[in-house]
């Protein structure tokens, strides 16, 4: 099985080397890492480029024109499928998602289409996140679940493992989200394909290095995108 870990990055120079080393230390057979960087001013791409010279299973997708967590994820999924991925792990670069859960995720896709690192199932925990930030995520999660009728408890988690089959059914080339709402768009499209989704509890640790890219504009666009997805599904367009 060929596994790709797909990591969208913007200004993560303080995190990316540490994360790549932690993933490689798992010594998972036939594992590749694809970092999708939007020409980060802090030189994140340069760090990855240097690593990829020494390690052939580390890939850099340097995007100069496009910007956005959404289109970065889209390009990343397409790249992984094109390079023969049988399994695709999607994760953030800010160390909020601990690579130690990857082996369990890869085991889980033996009889599921998606395994999701969840903050909302028994045994899960969120560390270092303020009350307001947790409230924002909680309300967004409630809104998404109610609007889109998804049974998954943590609809905001960007830490997921997909089988090639389900990712092909999701058709990443048709993903519309430019921003973080790609997380919900992918989940909803998988839900519409009756994907078997398993949630495993994770300890989510708030970033300690670098800065959040999540602002009011992204949040507002996210709420609008969920509404749009609902409308499109009601009209049978997705
Ligand atoms: N390529 C690319 N990656 C991005 C962009 N915005 C965010 N990312 C990456 O997407 C992941 C999630 O972004 P975060 O800023 O951590 O968003 P968040 O987790 O919702 O917010 P905090 O963790 O609270 O900061 C991180 O790896 C970011 O570097 C972007 O515009 N382009
Ligand atoms: Mg984060």
Percent above pLDDT 70 for the chain = 100
Atom number, ligand 1, closest to the C-alpha of residue 211: 25
How far does residue 158's CA lie from ligand 2's centre (Å)? 9
Q: Is the pTM of this model over 0.85?
A: yes
Task: For ligand 1, pick from 15, 61, 69 the residue to mutate: most ligand atoms within 8 Å of CB.
Answer: 69
| Gap from CA of 236 to ligand 2 centroid (Å) | 33
Instruction: Using the mean position of ligand 2's atoms as its centre, give its distance from the Cα of residue 157 in Å.
Output: 10
Confidence band, pLDDT 50/70/90 cuts, at residue 67:
very high
Burial group, residue 23, by CB count within 10 angstroms (0-12, 13-18, 19+): buried
Point out the ligand 1 atom lying closest to the alpha carbon of residue 37.
1
Mark the residues whose beta carbon lies below 5 A from ion ligand 2.
92, 94, 96
168 SS3 class: helix
CA dist 13 and 41 (Å) reads 10
Q: Which of 195, 179, 199 is nearest to 187 (CA)?
A: 195
Evaluate if residue 150 carries a pLDDT over 90.
Answer: yes
Helices assigned H by DSSP within 58-153: 69-82, 102-108, 131-148
pLDDT at 34: 98
Residue ranges and CATH numbers for the domains of the chain are 3-234 (3.90.550.10)
For residues 94-105, give the mean pLDDT. Answer: 98
């Amino acid at each position: 099985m060929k596994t790709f870990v797909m990591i969208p990055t913007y200004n993560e120079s303080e995190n990316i080397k540490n994360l790549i080393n932690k993933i490689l230390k798992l010594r998972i057979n036939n594992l590749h890492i694809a970092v999708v960087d939007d020409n980060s001013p802090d030189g994140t791409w340069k760090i990855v480029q240097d690593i990829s010279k020494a390690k052939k299973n580390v890939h850099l997708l340097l995007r100069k024109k496009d910007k956005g967590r959404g289109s970065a994820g889209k390009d990343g999924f397409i790249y992984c499928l094109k390079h023969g991925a049988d399994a695709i792990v999607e994760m953030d670069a800010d160390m909020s998602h601990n690579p130690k859960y990857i082996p369990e995720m890869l085991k889980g896709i033996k009889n599921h289409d998606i395994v999701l690192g969840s903050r909302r199932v028994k045994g899960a925990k969120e560390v270092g996140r303020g009350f307001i930030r947790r409230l924002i995520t909680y309300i967004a999660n409630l809104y998404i679940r109610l609007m889109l009728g998804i049974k998954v408890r943590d609809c905001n988690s960007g830490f997921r493992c997909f089988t090639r089959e389900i990712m092909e059914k999701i058709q990443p080339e048709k993903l519309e989200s430019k921003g973080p709402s790609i997380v919900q768009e992918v989940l909803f499209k998988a839900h519409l394909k009756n994907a078997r989704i398993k949630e495993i509890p994770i300890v989510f640790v708030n970033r300690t290095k670098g800065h959040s890219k999540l602002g009011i504009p992204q949040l507002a666009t996210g709420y609008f995108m969920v509404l749009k997805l609902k409308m499109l599904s009601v009209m049978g367009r997705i």
